[in-house]
Amino acid sequence: MSAAAVLATVTTLAALSHLAATDPKRRRAAALPVARKRRRAGLAVTAALCPGFLLLTAADGVDFTLWLSAASLGGWGVAACPPRRAARAMVRLARATAAPRHRLAGILMGRSRDEAAGRIAELERRVDELQADLAASARRRTPAAAHCTHEVDAA
């Protein structure tokens, strides 16, 4: 199985797991509370199907066939998993991937942690400057001009 097919399968199974863990009917049947976060079923279905489409168009048919069979088998496994276990697994997965996702985003953007921290500090300074300019322009406004603005808003 190629790396592209493995990545596509993992992405599809993650999306199917999200759908299973947040399905209102499954949660009601298992006496679980309503999922706290928004379900985003359309996004999850898109995330489940897009890897197959990409494999079909960009890779060869073998990768698509492997993805299709692995996704089908994995989907049955996700459906067979009890809802309580699926919900716990999704919480553990979210916790485990939180920090690596932020590091991966920095790597993909081509920035190290120090460069990102410097950029954030620069942006925060710029926001402070803009807020100070806005406050100064609000103080410079005369009462007559404020009155005129009020009349325009009221009309």
The per-residue pLDDT of the chain, averaged, comes to: 76
Residue listed under structure tokens 């081509």? 110
The tens digit of pLDDT for each residue in 7-51 reads 888 888 888 888 887 777 877 777 777 766 676 778 888 888 888
Q: Is 138 exposed, middle or buried (0-12, 13-18, 19+ CB in 10 A)?
A: exposed
How many independent structural domains does the chain possess? 2
The pLDDT value recorded for residue 93 is 67
Position with higher pLDDT, 92 vs 146: 92
Angle subtended at Cα 69 by Cα 53 and Cα 35, rounded to the nearest 5 degrees? 75
Do 18 and 77 belong to one domain?
A: yes
pLDDT mean over 45-64: 85
CA atoms of 17 and 93, how far apart (whole Å): 10
In-domain check, residue 25 = yes
Specify the pLDDT at position 136: 86
- What residues contact 13, with CB distance under 8 A and at least 6 apart? 71, 74, 75, 78
Q: Give the pLDDT band (50/70/90) at residue 89.
A: confident
CB-based contacts of 30, cutoff 8 Å, min separation 6:
82, 83, 84
- Summarize pLDDT for 107-123 with one digit per residue, the tens: 555 556 667 677 788 88
Considering the domain boundaries, does residue 103 fall inside one? no
My answer on whether 66 and 133 are in the same domain is no
